[in-house]
Amino acid sequence: QKEVEQDPGPLSVPEGAIVSLNCTYSNSAFQYFMWYRQYSRKGPELLMYTYSSGNKEDGRFTAQVDKSSKYISLFIRDSQPSDSATYLCAALDRGSTLGRLYFGRGTQLTVWP
């Protein structure tokens, strides 16, 4: 079982839709959770960085962590064609001596006009 699981999609939605992206993880020691956006053939760009359980909002993006179910989500409101990219979830165990990120395989999102 991989440390972080993510449905690769693809996911295709019309402009203006609310998008929900999800991941599950298996390691209870994970404390920090991230969402990265990656455009084709580019490096990942950090979107959200959250600690433990709860919600964090930044503009049209909301990250949600439920540690009891080991479930992390990213919601995109009023989606735009420029949001079309691959979205990667990642987790970090700050209790270890190593700042290693564990990534899901990414969900490919297309927002059509």
Contacting residues toward another protein, per CB under 8 A: 4, 6, 8, 32, 34, 36, 41-46, 49, 88, 90, 92, 94, 97-106
Tell me how far, at minimum, the Cβ of 37 lies from another protein, in Å.
11
Tell me how far, at minimum, the Cβ of 49 lies from another protein, in Å.
5
- ∠ CA 96-34-61, nearest 5°, is 160
Beta carbon nearer to another protein, 43 or 113 = 43
Beta carbon nearer to another protein, 15 or 45 = 45
Rounded Cα distance, 94 and 102, in Å = 12
Tell me how far, at minimum, the Cβ of 81 lies from another protein, in Å.
22
Asked if 86 and 104 touch (Cβ cutoff 8 Å), the reply is no
Asked if 87 and 74 touch (Cβ cutoff 8 Å), the reply is yes
Beta carbon nearer to another protein, 76 or 91 = 91
Cα–chain-centroid distance for residue 65? 10
